[in-house]
Amino acid sequence: MSGNIKLLSDTLAAAKAEGRSALIAYLPAGFPTVDGGIEAAKAVFDGGADVVEIGLPHSDPVLDGPVIQTADDIALRGGVKIADVMRTVREAHEATGKPVLVMTYWNPIDRYGIARFTAELAEAGGAGCILPDLPVQESATWREHADKHGLATVFVVAPSSKDARLADITAAGSGFVYAASLMGVTGTRESVGEQAQDLVRRTKATTELPVCVGLGVSNAEQAAEVAQFADGVIVGSAFVKRMLTADGDLTAGLDGIRALAGELAEGVRKRA
């Protein structure tokens, strides 16, 4: 069975045709429970997200700040497994028909087996993988299997990336390019900053792939700001924070993230 890279590409192209950025939401699998995480993915789609990234919880999430680390810890203590990540992808996609990716560090895939992971992700209807810590020069085997199964390989670029390095990364990637708006870990911030705009400009000079910005976007105003120059706006910690502040009340948490998705969806549709 082939994965849904085409659905991902078509979704991003459709948003561009509407003259707006796509809204991409991130939520970890297994948080607050496996079933609750599946409902959370559906809720952000209901609120207006175009794409959802499902995080594979990891004990050493080097790119993630304290909010997502807290959610990952809850999921890991709840016993979340890769099978639960695949189930989350499957049920979120089947319920909505929209593209769902997995965001994961490399070690879990390496231990699980590249062939097994890519085959199962494609079978679940996944659109691809975001791999923040897989070096491009070590990615050939992964990309071979991902391409065979119709899965996008999304690499992360940062403001520190030199132009030649950007070209290497974007040439190897597919689906879209994840542009980290600043140096550091995920989390909500007061402003996204000019670094993001410069990084998008430099990245776009190397590729026809959509360039989507994450790290630091937490409200409609910031989403509108980033939407002026990026093809997609990625939001994670703000959604997770809404779930955490619901303090175990799943209905309240789902209502909160659905409402936030709606606010952000309005933000990415604002024009300067």
Catalytic positions: 53, 64
Residue 51 · residue 99 · CB < 8 Å? yes
Rounding to the nearest 10 degrees, give the CA dihedral for residues 135, 138, 140, 142.
Answer: -70
Q: How far apart are CA 149 and CA 69, in angstroms?
A: 30
Alpha-helical (H) ranges within the chain are 5-17, 34-47, 66-77, 82-96, 106-112, 114-123, 140-148, 163-172, 194-204, 220-227, 237-245, 250-267
Q: How far apart are CA 21 and CA 228, in angstroms?
A: 8
* Residue 232 bridge partners (DSSP): 22, 212
SS3 label, residue 216: strand
CA distance readout (Å), 176 to 30, 153, 159, 160: 26, 8, 17, 19
